[in-house]
Amino acid sequence: MHYLALIVLVMCCMSAQANDALPDGIEQMPADPVADAPARLIFSRDNNAPNACDVELYVNQQVVAKLAPGEQTSLDLPNGELSVAVAMAPDGYCGGRGPDVAQSVILRPGETRQFAVMVEPEQVFLAPVID
């Protein structure tokens, strides 16, 4: 009987300690993201492009931003499946004609992803940046 009382006492002490503040340097796990929290896509372009032409970013077949060499933009978007693409801007001597290929991206609530805009002499495309 005393053994059972000791077990109950230990269990009560353990549950009381679980509610105490964590020691310095230890953080609580973050809560799960809110179901309707927006996701974020970050697009960046380096300065080493073979030309000075702007590129257009497309989300769900709509132009959402223009980037010159060295620029970056951040877009807060709804979570779920989105189509993303990039193409040379149609103005100026570059005379782009719109995106050739779109990529499908599935975003979770509160998720952040980054893409590099890659510009080569004959094509422009998105490459995921992996941390």
pLDDT, tens digit, for every residue of 63-116?
999 999 899 999 999 999 999 999 988 887 777 778 888 999 999 999 999 999
Residue 13 has pLDDT above 60, yes or no: no
- Gap between the Cα atoms of 107 and 76, Å rounded: 11
> Would you say residue 95 lies in a domain?
yes
- Gap between the Cα atoms of 40 and 78, Å rounded: 8
Residue 76 Cα to chain centre, angstroms = 9
Tell me the three state secondary structure of residue 84.
strand
Residues 44-50, mean pLDDT to the nearest whole number: 80
Domain residues for the domain of 112 are 36-129
pLDDT classification of 7: cutoffs 50, 70, 90: low
> Would you say residue 124 lies in a domain?
yes
Predicted local distance difference test score (pLDDT) of residue 110: 93
Predicted local distance difference test score (pLDDT) of residue 96: 75
CATH code of the domain covering residue 125: 2.60.40.4150
